[in-house]
Structure 1
Amino acid sequence: MIIENKTIDGRKIKWILRSPVQSDGNQLSEVRLKIDGETENLDREYGEAYMSPEDFEKLIYTDSIAEKSIFLVAEVEDKIVGFARCVGNKLRRFEHKADFGICILEDYWGYGIGSTILENILAWADEVGIEKISLTVIETNNKAIDLYKKYGFVEEGRLVKDRRHRDGNYYNTVIMGRLKCF
């Protein structure tokens, strides 16, 4: 699914919300790698599950033609600073569901980018008939958990000692979901 570009006058920053294009592959690969090294909030460590520019180009194409998937980027001054995907399920028994993930460069936290992306994805999901969106988040990422709750997500469970970080400690993963209200 492709959306029209939207200029957002956010908290102290002006940015563009848009669908990625093929030429964004290089930037997306670099941004993902950098984000993975900035925080323990994501599943990957720096360099793990590397996605090349070509991998992103394939993903951009696949998501652009999929009826129940959307890929969005946040761009500030011609620089991609974050992205999110909501990916529908093709299996008949699960076609009412989609999985959501988001990542934003740490320098751009607190500007409302995550909230705006989430609002747009939820509006799109409602429009295309996605009834449930699922996500996972590390239990220590309280800002993200609070944001998701604000938008109707509820905790559905926890995966205990699901991840082990560089500090040697185990952390739980919170499973959250949002059901469309009819």
Structure 2
Amino acid sequence: MLIDQKELQIKELSYTIRCARREDAQALSDLRLQLDGETENFDREQGEALIDRAGFEQLIQQDSESSKNLCLVAVVGDRIVGFSRCEGSPLKRLAHKVTFGVGVSKEFWGYGIGKALLQESIDWADANGIRKIALEVLETNEKAIQLYKKMGFLVEGILKNDKCLADGRFYHTIIMGRWQE
């Protein structure tokens, strides 16, 4: 699915939110690898479950052809600094919902890029009859949890001792959802 491009400015940083394009595939692969090394908020350690350029090309094509998927990028100048993805299901019993994920380069945290990607995804979902957006967030990612709550997401459950981080301790994953009446 495609959306209109949006130009934003926060704290003197100008950036664009737009749909991912085929030519973004290598930059997305590189950014995903970078993000996995910048934070433990993702399921992967750096280098695990790598999606290469060809994999991202396929994903972008699939998302642009599906009415239940949306892949967005945040661009500063000509550099992709963040992305988000909503993925739906072809199953009828799950056709009303999508799963949301987001990542922003640590260098650009604090500029509202994650919030802008989330807002565009919510607007897209609401405009396209998608009733539920679901996501998972690590319990230590307090800023993300606060943002999700402000944006209408509720805690639906907790996966206890779900992830083992670099410190050797186990942490909970919080399951959140936003329901559109």
TM-score for both structures, normalised by structure 2: 0.98
Tell me the CA shift for residue 10 of structure 1: 2.0
Q: Partners of 1:171 and 1:51 in 2: how far apart?
A: 26
Q: Which amino acid aligns with 2:91?
A: L
Letter in 2 for 1:19: C
AA matched with 2:153? F
2:118 is matched by which residue type in structure 1? L
Residue correspondence of structure 1 range 136-175 to structure 2 within 5 A: 136-175=136-175
Give the Cα separation in 2 of the matches to 1:66 and 1:154.
27
CA offset digits 1:135-156 (Å, max 9, x no partner):
0000010000000000100000
Deviation at 1:19, TM superposition (A): 0.7
Deviation at 1:12, TM superposition (A): 2.4
Query: Residues of 2 paired with 1:106 and 1:50: CA distance?
Result: 19
In 1, the alpha carbon distance for the partners of 2:68 and 2:78 equals: 27
Aligned twin of 1:90: 90
Per the TM alignment, residue 16 of structure 1 is displaced from its structure 2 partner at its CA by: 0.7
8 Å Cα contact 1:11-1:112 kept in structure 2 = no
Give the conservation status (yes or no) of the 8 Å contact 1:133–1:177: yes
Residue 49 (str. 1) matches residue 49 (str. 2): yes
Matches within 5 A, 1:23-102: 23-102=23-102
Give the count of matched residue pairs: 181
Q: Which shifted more, 3-12 or 48-57?
A: 3-12
Q: Is the 8 A contact 1:41 1:137 kept in 2?
A: yes
TM-score by length of 1: 0.98
Q: Which amino acid aligns with 2:95?
A: E
Whichever residue aligns with residue 98 of structure 1, its letter is V
Measure, in 2, the Cα distance between the counterparts of 1:30 and 1:97: 29
Instruction: Report if aligned partners of 2:36, 2:44 keep a CA contact under 8 Å in 1.
Output: yes
String of CA shifts for 1:32-79, please: whole Å, max 9, x gaps.
000000001111110000000000000000000101110000000100
What percent of counterpart residues are identical? 48
- Report runs of 4+ in structure 1 exceeding 2 Å deviation: none
* Unmatched segments (≥5 aa) in structure 1: none
Q: Supply the distance in 1 between the matched residues of 2:64 and 2:80 (Cα, whole angstroms).
A: 18
**Cα deviations by residue, 1:132-177 (Å, 9 ceiling, x for unpaired):** 1100000010000000000100000100000101110000000000
| Structure-1 separation of matches of 2:42 and 2:110 | 17
Residues 66-102 of structure 1, C-alpha deviations (whole Å, 9 max, x = no match): 0111000000010000100011121101100110000
Please say which of residues 160-169 and 3-12 is displaced more in the overlay: 3-12
Structure 2: 5+ residue runs without aligned partners? none
Query: In the aligned structure 2, how far is the partner of 1:3 from the partner of 1:11?
Result: 25
Code of the aligned partner of 2:30: E
Query: Equivalents in 2 of 1:54, 1:115: separation in Å?
Result: 28
